[in-house]
Chains A and B, each alone.
Chain A
Amino acid sequence: EDQVTQSPEALRLQEGESSSLNCSYTVSGLRGLFWYRQDPGKGPEFLFTLYSAGEEKEKERLKATLTKKESFLHITAPKPEDSATYLCAVRGGSGTYKYIFGTGTRLKVLA
């Protein structure tokens, strides 16, 4: 069964303190791994799509990487405005149309 596990569940960082969020997945024939940012009570905001192991993408202070079993979202020198829940989702190739989401990592960056 396709599955996504995110860790840690929650993370508190001081402003400027870099860290990484983990997304481990089990899926038949990965067709894409997606990172989203979600603010409380809002819809997920698209960040990155990764398609194959070894791929990396960057946007401002965020960098996403992908291996055959997991993805990391690296946050460099975070600011308080980076505080949000970060969601990881996968889409498999077994004729499914859905994204399978993890439960997210709640990030709090303290000034």
Chain B
Amino acid sequence: ETGVTQSPTHLIKTRGQQVTLRCSSQSGHNTVSWYQQALGQGPQFIFQYYREEENGRGNFPPRFSGLQFPNYSSELNVNALELDDSALYLCASSLGTAGTDTQYFGPGTRLTVL
């Protein structure tokens, strides 16, 4: 069974640029959630995708957007990068959207905005 994978591992961008992060869900999982984790903090929910549709969103501005593909992989896009966007971005996959479904996390992408 393949776990959740993310790419790239690390990324350095400058303020104002755009970035795309990628995630492949665990085998058999159809739901992907994205989180932002600042240093020393817990992960903060960005949004969730279920069967290619956005299924819930946290308190993040519209410049954070996403996609889910038919194979359930997903992308997180961030436009007009700001210094505060520097963080570890985590993707988690689960089977379905039921409240009791456990989310399994990938290794994360470390984004640094200069």
Contact = CB atoms under 8 A, between A and B. Distances in A.
Contact of B56 (A36, A51, A98): A98
Interface stretch (A13-21, A40-48, A59-67, A73-81): A40-48
A43 B107 contact: yes
Contacts of B97: 97
Contact of A104 (B42, B45, B88, B90): B42
Contacts of B33: 97-99
Nearest to A92: B99
A71 interface: no
Interface in B56-88: 56, 58, 88
B100 A103 contact: no
B110 A41 contact: yes
B45 to A, nearest CB: 3
Contacts of B56: 96-98
Interface of A: 4, 31-32, 34, 36, 41-46, 49, 51, 87, 89, 91-93, 96-104
20 contacts: A31-B99, A32-B99, A34-B102, A36-B105, A41-B108, A42-B108, A43-B105, A43-B106, A43-B107, A46-B105, A51-B100, A87-B42, A89-B43, A91-B99, A97-B48, A97-B55, A97-B97, A98-B33, A99-B33, A101-B44
